[in-house]
């Protein structure tokens, strides 16, 4: 569709969001991401039936970890959309980017920032 979305969104493709596990979300934050979102199919439309439902639960788990650490849980989010929804994909990318920008840089890279 050649629609433009914010350049700071790095996409990692998976065959189904059910493949995304807790450790992947945590590693993203460890590696310096200011926010991580999981974009899965609409609930009820998962080709593997429950992959996107599992992904949501894992996102919730990591949101709780963030809360326990005193960090904004909005830095991790789950979105649902169909693969055909190009404009919605862009909308989500812009929306999440705005949210995380407002929150500021990740508190998990203070040390890294200093060393750099």
Report the residue from 43, 60, 105, 112 that binds another protein according to the rule CB under 8 A.
112
Residue 57 CB, shortest distance to another protein, in Å, is 9
The verdict on 37 binding another protein (CB under 8 A) reads no
Quick one: CA torsion of 31, 26, 101, 9, rounded to 10 degrees?
A: 70
Angstrom CA distances, 78 to 18, 34, 46, stand at 12, 15, 14
Q: How far is the CB of 115 from another protein (least distance, A)?
A: 10
Assess 29 for contact with another protein (CB under 8 A). yes
Rounded Cα gap, residues 91 and 80, in angstroms? 12
Cα(7)–Cα(13) distance, integer angstroms: 16
Which one of the spans 11-19, 26-34, 42-50, 80-88 is the region binding another protein (CB under 8 A)? 26-34
State the helix-helix crossing angle for 22-30 and 51-68, rounded to 10 degrees: 50
Q: Tell me if 110 contacts another protein by CB under 8 A.
A: yes
Binding positions for another protein, 88-107, rule CB under 8 A: 107
Q: How far apart are CA 58 and CA 62, in angstroms?
A: 6
Residues that bind another protein (CB under 8 A): 21-23, 26-27, 29-30, 65, 68-71, 107-112, 114
């Amino acid at each position: 569709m050649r629609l433009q979305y914010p350049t700071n969104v790095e996409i990692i493709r998976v065959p189904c969001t059910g493949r995304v596990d807790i450790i992947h979300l945590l590693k993203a934050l460890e590696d310096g991401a200011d926010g991580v979102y999981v974009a899965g199919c609409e609930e009820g439309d998962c080709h593997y039936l429950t992959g996107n439902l599992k992904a949501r639960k894992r996102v919730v788990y990591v949101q709780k970890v963030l809360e326990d650490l005193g960090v904004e849980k909005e830095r991790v989010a789950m979105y649902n959309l169909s693969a055909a929804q190009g404009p919605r994909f862009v909308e989500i990318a812009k929306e999440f980017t705005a949210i995380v920008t407002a929150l500021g840089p990740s508190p998990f890279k203070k040390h890294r920032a200093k060393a750099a």
